Amino acid sequence: MLRSPHVTVTGGHDGGEDGWVVRLVEGAISAIAVVGCPRIEAIAAALEGVTELTPIMAQNDNADHVERVLIDLTASRGGQPWTRDRVILHRLTSSRALRDADVDQTLAIRLLKRGDSLDHLFPELRHEITHARDMAPVAAAFVGGQPVSFCYPVFTTESMWDVSIDTLAEHRRRGLAAHVCRFMAEHMRREGREPVWAALESNAASLRLAARLGFTAVDDVVAFSHGAWVFLSRGFVG
d(C-alpha 205, C-alpha 168), whole Å: 14
- pTM of the predicted protein model: 0.81
Q: How far apart are the first and last CA of the chain?
A: 28
Q: Rounded mean pLDDT of 194-222?
A: 92
Q: Rounded mean pLDDT of 129-137?
A: 90
Q: Is the confidence at residue 231, as pLDDT, over 50?
A: no
Rounded to the nearest 5 percent, the helix, strand and coil shares of the chain are: 30, 35, 35
Q: Is the confidence at residue 49, as pLDDT, over 90?
A: no
Class at the top of the CATH hierarchy for domain 90-219: alpha beta
Q: Which of 186, 175, 184 is nearest to 148 (CA)?
A: 175
Q: Convert the pLDDT of each residue in 169-206 to its tens digit.
A: 999 888 898 889 989 999 999 999 999 999 989 889 88
Length of the chain: 238
Q: Is the confidence at residue 237, as pLDDT, over 70?
A: no
> Tell me, what's the pLDDT at 197?
95
Q: What letter represents residue 123's amino acid?
A: P
Look at residue 100 and give its three-state secondary structure: helix
d(C-alpha 142, C-alpha 204), whole Å: 26
Three-state SS string across 181-238, please? HHHHHHHHHCCCCEEEEEEECCCHHHHHHHHHCCEEEEEEEEEEECCCCCCCCCCCCC
> Tell me, what's the pLDDT at 100?
60
Q: Determine which of 14-28, 97-111, 176-190 has the lowest per-residue pLDDT on average.
A: 97-111
Q: Which of 47, 20, 44, 13 is nearest to 34 (CA)?
A: 20
